[in-house]
């Protein structure tokens, strides 16, 4: 196992208890940040300066929103979903809809809405979500993960 303990994490008590309820521990958060550091893959909000990164170390995809102050990661939010993002199958819309706020750090371009492919329990479907028009990395907001995706996961699990 790689040692991620060198990553400086700051998280306040309220957020820590929320993440505990969501069953996300500091180890999961460190994995996302280590991945974002190593791969240089994250989104940045050009208005707030906040970062959002994700990785899928196992069957769960973890997302972490953070502020980077020096070498300290202040954790603002984290969420997860089980649905898997199939990268590299994005279909751009006929009329591009661009995000002003969120940009891809690696490609340094604003995100645009695309029809992206998601898969869960042998079902694959297309959903319109913001993504990087260059590397095709998909952006899943907290609201989408906790509401729409969670609902779809539940429906597929109950089938």
Which CB sits closer to Zn ion, 52 or 132? 132
The Cα 35–Cα 21 span in angstroms is: 24
Binding mask 15-34 for Zn ion (x = CB under 5 A): --------------------
Binding mask 56-95 for Zn ion (x = CB under 5 A): ----------------------------------------
For CA atoms 31, 138, 39, 15, the dihedral sign is negative
Q: Which of 64, 104, 111, 138 lies at the binding interface for Zn ion (CB under 5 A)?
A: 104
Residue 134 as a binder of Zn ion (CB under 5 A): the answer is yes
Residue 132 as a binder of Zn ion (CB under 5 A): the answer is yes
The Cα 100–Cα 87 span in angstroms is: 22
Residue 135 as a binder of Zn ion (CB under 5 A): the answer is yes
The Cα 66–Cα 30 span in angstroms is: 12
For CA atoms 14, 18, 20, 24, the dihedral sign is negative
Q: Contact positions toward Zn ion, by CB under 5 A? A: 104, 106-107, 132, 134-135
């Amino acid at each position: 196992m790689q040692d991620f303990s060198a990553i400086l994490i700051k998280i306040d008590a309220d957020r820590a208890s929320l993440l505990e309820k969501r069953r996300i521990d500091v180890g999961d958060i460190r994995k996302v940040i280590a991945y974002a550091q190593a791969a240089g893959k994250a989104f940045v909000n050009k208005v707030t300066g906040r970062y959002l990164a994700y990785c899928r170390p196992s069957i769960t995809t973890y997302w972490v929103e953070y502020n980077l102050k020096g070498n300290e990661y202040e954790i603002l939010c984290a969420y997860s979903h089980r649905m898997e993002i199939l990268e590299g199958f994005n279909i751009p819309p006929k009329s591009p809809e661009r995000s002003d706020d969120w940009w891809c750090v690696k490609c340094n371009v604003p995100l645009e809405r695309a029809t992206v492919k998601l898969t869960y329990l042998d079902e694959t479907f297309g959903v319109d979500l913001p993504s990087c028009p260059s590397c095709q990395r998909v952006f899943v907001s907290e609201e989408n993960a906790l509401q729409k995706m969670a609902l779809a996961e539940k429906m597929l699990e109950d089938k």
